[in-house]
Amino acid sequence: MSDEPVRRLPLLPLRGLTIFPYMVLHFDVGRAKSIAALEAAMVNDQEIFLVTQKDTKIDDPEIDDIFEVGTISKIKQLLKLPGETIRVLVEGLERGRILEYTKQEPYFEANLVTPKKYDKAEIELQLEAISRSVLSSFETYVKLSNKISPETLLTVSTLEDPDRLADIIAANILVRSEDKQRILESFHPVERLENLYDILIREIEILEIENKINLRVKKQIDKVQREYYLREQLKAIQRELGESEGVAGEIEEYEEKIEKANLPEEVEEKAAKELNRLSKMGPGSAEGSVIRTYLDWILDLPWNIETEDNLDLKNAARILDEDHYGLEKVKERVIEYLAVRQLTKNMKGPILCFVGPPGVGKTSIARSIARSLNRKFVRMSVGGVRDEAEIRGHRRTYVGAIPGRIIASIKQAGSKNPVFLLDEIDKMSSDFRGDPASALLEVLDAEQNYAFRDHYLELPFDLSKVMFLTTANTLETIPRPLLDRMEVIQISGYTEEEKRNIASKYLIPKQMKEHGLPENSIILSDQTISDIINYYTRESGVRSLERQIATICRRAARKILETGRERVKITSGNLNKYLGIPRFHYDKVKNQDEIGIVTGLAWTSVGGDTLSIEVTPMAGTGKLVLTGQLGDVMKESARAGFSYIRSRAAKFGLSEDFHEKLDIHIHIPEGAIPKDGPSAGITMTTAVISALTEIPVRSDVAMTGEITLRGRILPIGGLKEKILAAHRAGIKKVIIPLENKRDLDEIPDNVKRKVEIVLAENMDEVLSHALTRMPEPISGGNNDGDQKS
């Protein structure tokens, strides 16, 4: 051991304290052994060896419990305190290491070595370098810790002796006793400074982390405090304005409603989020009212409300019969559909689409289906919808946004499994605002509609339990992909007899009930009902018939009240007192045969209709002039007919160049509904031939059929509607294409009995039935028709 010299001193173990050279320290001494050591020291030259105990808890330490290195110190002052305690003031002088204990009782005494003196010059550079590092890290430490006064920094930085530097810094800053001991045990100054540097760096790191954590915590606390403070302020302001209860009460009310509503998890979360936003808003703010509307919507929707189905098919059949006359095939198919749905237990099948003219009971059948299943019923017309947003809603960022009509209808239904009727799907259109048909497709698609997303709600709504039904007047304008998903049920117009039955069995009792008229208070004979049908309505369905009956009920009710009579009898004679002058005159359909006028039969989206085609030739240059409400296909078909006539001119007794000096004007009067399609081909051709040959056309004949350039006749659609229209118009004979023979099954027998149906294959046959006589061919003509077989 190179350290020297050896000294012998009394030893006092310190508990929880470390003393460094140059350090002044006072502590209290109570242990008898320690007091003995003090006394021994005072007898000597007041020097004592102070060493730290390894474990502060030990009261009576053994040799092994005491560190080996301590500080030789000078006792400066002793102060007797009450009791056996003495307060000591000491100053550290220099390090010492125990060589051996020389005494253990009544106090410890040991032989010590002190550090040898170093040749300062030898280690000057090393010292200088390490002291600089220590100093700069100490500075950082002071800055970070802000527990140490700047004066200490000043004192330390002005120290000349690097030997003291380490001890002073260690005495001032170190907390852990093992760190202090480590510095104390470093006898060589360079080693001591290095150790200190090491510890400082670690301490700085710890401080940095500590600061970071503190900062974060502080920020968090600040934010919470700030919000709390602001909210309190807001409350105070609202209280001043007398609004506080309103807002707080409203929030509470919503909270309660949300809790009670038993919403799906995702919906509830969203509602809570919105409510939280609302709670931060002033009572008058515009955004607040947007949120309120939104919350109301969410709360009003039947997220979990479902009605229980009545699956009894017999019951369904009974209700359909109860509500509707006839329609046997339709009812049968509806029951079949319900049966299949029940067996497959899902809604993935096709969607029923009722197709037919207005007023034939499409809506009312859908309503009956809902009634028989015990489901709610909603109806939404998509006719005229051209904007996708109408189906799917606008996003909430859009001013005045509301959900689309699907969601609105579901809200109206109040259950998530209503019967949902989409009316008039053939009248949808699309433009730049998006295609409503594709949105509708998603609604109807069982693979997608369990999570239908409305732009406004921003939440998926389950439409998979909804039973969708659709109606249309015609299949032609239904977008193809929609049509593919549907099972079409055609409902055609009613005959007069059917209408009469519907009126007497359904419409009249229904209207009487609605007008509060007792049974039998109105007497309407079958003849009167027929008169209403024939003179006051002109339709395929029974909608305006029902309106007329309602009018009669209204007037009759008044009469009963005014006159006190118990019943009123409505006859053909007094009908005009109730309904005004007759509006239509079928029976008076021209009963005079005329030249150039032919009755055709048309089929429009509102059912069958008759149309009268007029043709006049006049001097001109061979032009074909067409006027009236007619479409392109019809015009083409007129041209084809005209070409046919020219190619057969001689056969009709016309000179070959007849067209060179003539213009031919074809006009189709009356009717706001545009007519199109090729089925007026034979009608126009017949009218032109009649006009050119000046042979009259029979007034009680009507016709329909497409014509080819060679005079052949091609089949047409909508035969039943057309024949019913002819029947309504009092026509006795209808000429139709031979190929439509297969459709005759659909025509009710009583109609077939009244209207003679002629099947024609070519133009000759048509003319022979329609014209009062056949034209005389110019002999030697080159145009014997290919049709003569």
Q: What residues are annotated to the active site? A: 679, 722
**DSSP code of 425?**
G
Specify the residue, 25 or 542, whose C-beta has the smaller distance to ligand ADP: 542
Give residues 441-480 in contact with ligand ADP (rule: CB under 6 A): 471
Is the CB of residue 419 less than 8 Å from the CB of residue 377? Answer: yes
DSSP string, 666-703: EEE-S-SS-B-SGGGHHHHHHHHHHHHHTPPBPTTEEE
Is the CB of residue 676 less than 8 Å from the CB of residue 703? Answer: no
Specify the residue, 258 or 421, whose C-beta has the smaller distance to ligand ADP: 421
Report in angstroms how near the CB of residue 362 gets to ligand ADP at its nearest: 3
Residues 248, 252, 258, CA angle at the centre, nearest 5°? 145
Specify the residue, 543 or 733, whose C-beta has the smaller distance to ligand ADP: 543
Q: Does 334 bind ligand ADP (CB under 6 A)?
A: no
For helices 244-261 and 286-300, give the axis angle rounded to 10 degrees: 20
Nearest to 270 by CA among 458, 533, 130: 458
Q: Does 420 bind ligand ADP (CB under 6 A)?
A: no
Q: What is d(CA 166, CA 606) in angstroms, rounded to the nearest whole number?
A: 108
Q: Does 360 bind ligand ADP (CB under 6 A)?
A: yes
Specify the residue, 362 or 455, whose C-beta has the smaller distance to ligand ADP: 362
Residues 13, 358, 600, 677: which binds ligand ADP (CB under 6 A)?
Answer: 358
Residues 7, 333, 396, 543: which binds ligand ADP (CB under 6 A)?
Answer: 543
Q: Does 288 bind ligand ADP (CB under 6 A)?
A: no
For the chain, the maximum distance between any two Cα atoms, rounded to a whole number of angstroms, is 171
Give residues 124-143 in contact with ligand ADP (rule: CB under 6 A): none
Specify the residue, 196 or 467, whose C-beta has the smaller distance to ligand ADP: 467
Specify the residue, 210 or 476, whose C-beta has the smaller distance to ligand ADP: 476
Q: Does 493 bind ligand ADP (CB under 6 A)?
A: no
Nearest to 458 by CA among 301, 298, 303: 298
CA 9 to chain centre: 91
Q: What is d(CA 49, CA 95) in angstroms, rounded to the nearest whole number?
A: 9
**Contact characters 544-573, ligand ADP, x per CB under 6 A:** --x---------------------------
Specify the residue, 420 or 456, whose C-beta has the smaller distance to ligand ADP: 420
Q: Which stretch binds ligand ADP (CB under 6 A): 106-114, 320-328, 591-599, 703-711?
A: 320-328
Peptide bond into 13 cis (omega under 30): no
Report in angstroms how near the CB of residue 491 gets to ligand ADP at its nearest: 7
Structure tokens at 720: 């039943």
**Contact characters 13-42, ligand ADP, x per CB under 6 A:** ------------------------------
Q: What is d(CA 349, CA 341) in angstroms, rounded to the nearest whole number?
A: 7
Structure tokens at 247: 């807002």
Is the CB of residue 502 less than 8 Å from the CB of residue 508? Answer: no
Q: Which stretch binds ligand ADP (CB under 6 A): 181-189, 298-306, 356-364, 595-603?
A: 356-364
Residues 20, 187, 303, 325: which binds ligand ADP (CB under 6 A)?
Answer: 325
Which residue, chain included where needed, has tokens 């709504």?
A: 461
Q: What is d(CA 611, CA 675) in angstroms, rounded to the nearest whole number?
A: 9
Is the CB of residue 22 less than 8 Å from the CB of residue 92? Answer: yes
Give residues 242-271 in contact with ligand ADP (rule: CB under 6 A): none
Specify the residue, 70 or 356, whose C-beta has the smaller distance to ligand ADP: 356
Q: Which stretch binds ligand ADP (CB under 6 A): 266-274, 323-331, 700-708, 734-742?
A: 323-331
Specify the residue, 470 or 685, whose C-beta has the smaller distance to ligand ADP: 470
The 3-class SS string of 165-186 reads: HHHHHHHHHCCCHHHHHHHHHC
Residues 327, 355, 533, 553: which binds ligand ADP (CB under 6 A)?
Answer: 327
Q: What is d(CA 395, CA 542) in angstroms, rounded to the nearest whole number?
A: 42
Of the CA atoms within 13 Å of residue 633, those in its CB half-sphere come to 9
Report in angstroms how near the CB of residue 366 gets to ligand ADP at its nearest: 8
Q: First CA to last CA across the chain, in angstroms?
A: 145
Report in angstroms how near the CB of residue 536 gets to ligand ADP at its nearest: 16
Q: Does 517 bind ligand ADP (CB under 6 A)?
A: no
Q: Which stretch binds ligand ADP (CB under 6 A): 122-130, 355-363, 511-519, 656-664?
A: 355-363
Is the CB of residue 404 less than 8 Å from the CB of residue 456? Answer: yes
Specify the residue, 197 or 506, whose C-beta has the smaller distance to ligand ADP: 506
Please, which residues bridge with residue 490 across strands? 355
| The dihedral sign for the CA sequence 531, 532, 535, 538 | negative
Q: Does 503 bind ligand ADP (CB under 6 A)?
A: no
Report in angstroms how near the CB of residue 356 gets to ligand ADP at its nearest: 6
Residues 264, 282, 326, 414: which binds ligand ADP (CB under 6 A)?
Answer: 326
Report in angstroms how near the CB of residue 774 gets to ligand ADP at its nearest: 44
Report in angstroms how near the CB of residue 559 gets to ligand ADP at its nearest: 24
Q: Does 369 bind ligand ADP (CB under 6 A)?
A: no
Residues 324, 675, 722, 727: which binds ligand ADP (CB under 6 A)?
Answer: 324
Report in angstroms how near the CB of residue 342 gets to ligand ADP at its nearest: 25
Q: Does 495 bind ligand ADP (CB under 6 A)?
A: no
Residues 385, 388, 393, CA angle at the centre, nearest 5°? 105
Q: Which stretch binds ligand ADP (CB under 6 A): 66-74, 123-131, 324-332, 773-781?
A: 324-332
Give residues 58-117 in contact with ligand ADP (rule: CB under 6 A): none
Report in angstroms how near the CB of residue 358 gets to ligand ADP at its nearest: 4
Is the CB of residue 721 less than 8 Å from the CB of residue 540? Answer: yes
- Residue of closest CB approach to ligand ADP: 361
For helices 120-145 and 189-241, give the axis angle rounded to 10 degrees: 10
* Count of residues of this chain found to bind ligand ADP when the rule CB under 6 A is applied: 18
Q: What is d(CA 294, CA 398) in angstroms, rounded to the nearest whole number?
A: 13
Is the CB of residue 416 less than 8 Å from the CB of residue 424? Answer: no
Q: What is d(CA 358, CA 474) in angstroms, rounded to the nearest whole number?
A: 10
Report in angstroms how near the CB of residue 708 gets to ligand ADP at its nearest: 36
Report in angstroms how near the CB of residue 466 gets to ligand ADP at its nearest: 19
For helices 244-261 and 265-279, give the axis angle rounded to 10 degrees: 180
Q: Which stretch binds ligand ADP (CB under 6 A): 147-155, 204-212, 539-547, 702-710?
A: 539-547
Q: Which stretch binds ligand ADP (CB under 6 A): 331-339, 359-367, 585-593, 666-674?
A: 359-367
Burial of 632 (0-12, 13-18, 19+ CB in 10 A): exposed
Q: 683 vs 600, 615, 679, CA distance in Å?
A: 6, 11, 8
Is the CB of residue 600 less than 8 Å from the CB of residue 703? Answer: yes
Q: Which stretch binds ligand ADP (CB under 6 A): 444-452, 522-530, 542-550, 566-574?
A: 542-550
Residues that bind ligand ADP (CB under 6 A): 324-327, 358-364, 471, 502, 506, 541-543, 546
